[in-house]
Amino acid sequence: MHIRLLAVGDRQPAWVDDAFGIYTQRFPREWKFRLDVIPTVRRARNDKSQRAMQAEGDLIIENLKDTEQVVLLDERGKQFSSRTLATRLSDWQSDGRDLCLVIGGPDGVADTVLTRADITWSLSDLTLPHGLARALLAEQLYRAWSLQTGHPYHRD
């Protein structure tokens, strides 16, 4: 199974790239993990319309493959413990399809993206900046893989 992260937001602070890189470098080679970035659509200062979110949603949909299982990261999704995520990761791996994790733009995602998602996952009840969500996602995927492989876990 190949795993990729499709994320809206082309400009992240250096600490995000550093933290994200620390964990993704530890991922197993067979994941062939990659990050695909979609630029954030410009928003006018007081633009309250759905225009930018819909445009980003269209770009997300264009970049998804029909054969991929899609996991959308969204605050309204289901939360998992680290152990549950490890089990989910095993399920996703045994599904046989490649996995695409999606982080939308600053206003969320269009309904078309929500509809396309196979599952919606929330990292926290807290509202997280997208860069922090990116780094936290990488850490949690690494932790789930570590649990799968029998690496000692601090809770045991």
pLDDT digits (tens, 9 = 90+) for 143-153: 999 999 987 66
pLDDT of residue 156: 53
Nearest CA-CA partner of 36 in 2, 68, 63: 63
> Does some domain include residue 35?
yes
Half-sphere exposure (Cβ direction) of 82: Cα atoms closer than 13 Å: 16
The residue-averaged pLDDT of 111-130 equals 94
CA quadruple 61, 64, 67, 72: dihedral sign: negative
| Placement of tokens 């982080």 in the chain | 103
> Does some domain include residue 155?
no
Q: CATH number of the domain at 137, please.
A: 3.40.1280.10
Domain that holds residue 15: 3-40+50-148
CA quadruple 68, 84, 33, 5: dihedral sign: positive
pTM: 0.92
Whether residue 29 has pLDDT greater than 70: yes
Whether residue 27 has pLDDT greater than 90: yes
> Does some domain include residue 140?
yes
> Does some domain include residue 63?
yes
Reduced to 3 states, what is the DSSP secondary structure of residue 143?
helix
